[in-house]
Amino acid sequence: MAARKKKSGTGSAEVVELELKKLLTRLSKPGVDRWEADTAKVRHLIALDAASVMKRIDSKQDEAVGLFSRLRTRDGMIELCRSSFTSVTFSELARLSPPEQLATFSFHEQLDAMRWYVSYTEDMPSTVKSTVSQYVRKLGELHRDLTTRIGPPGSGGHPVIEAEPSEAAS
């Protein structure tokens, strides 16, 4: 009976130790390092592509809408929506966790909606400018969520880990 007695106050440390052992066991399996490295590369490429889209939109949005207004050409606005995401395979996306997949698809679904709008709209230039601004605002929100989940381009494909407040700090 005495051998079964729990030590008080060490439950939290034991849980952490157990989780670390599980992680080490998983990572020491053959192929896990390769899988993790390939998954990090997929995350990194998605992050690079999304960052490139947002940078292009931020720097060229007004110019593209202006060209549409003056020349009635949609090429500039369609170019804003260009993405390499269409070349990503399903098996590559399957490497991501479900929240990462959702964030990736949400971002690109909004980008596709914007691409469709600018490709086929018959709206007047002032309405186009307003509508594109709404799409860009939503894309910015989705990009922040995507970056939080898969990591920024410079992170090498490692997701951002938000620290939880410790019990001691409370």
Each residue's pLDDT tens digit, 106-156:
999 999 999 999 999 999 999 999 999 999 999 999 999 999 999 998 776
Question: Are 88 and 79 in contact, with CB atoms under 8 Å apart?
Answer: no
CA distance 36 to 59: 34
**Among the listed residues 30, 12, 31, 8, the one whose alpha carbon sits nearest the alpha carbon of residue 20:** 12
pTM of the predicted model, to two decimals? 0.73
CA distance 8 to 29: 34
**Share above pLDDT 70 across residues of the chain, in percent, rounded to a whole number:** 79
Average pLDDT rounded to a whole number, residues 56-75:
91
- DSSP track, 73-138: --HHHHHHT--SGGG--HHHHTTS-HHHHHHHHHHHHHHHHHHHHHHH----HHHHHHHHHHHHHH
**Sequence spans of domains, the chain:** 34-155
Copy the structure tokens of residue 148.
Answer: 């939080």
pLDDT at 16: 81
Copy the structure tokens of residue 58.
Answer: 């931020």
- pLDDT(162) > 70: no
Task: Kindly report the backbone phi and psi dihedral angles of residue 123, in degrees, each rounded to the nearest multiple of 5, phi listed first.
Answer: -70, 160
pLDDT at 5: 47
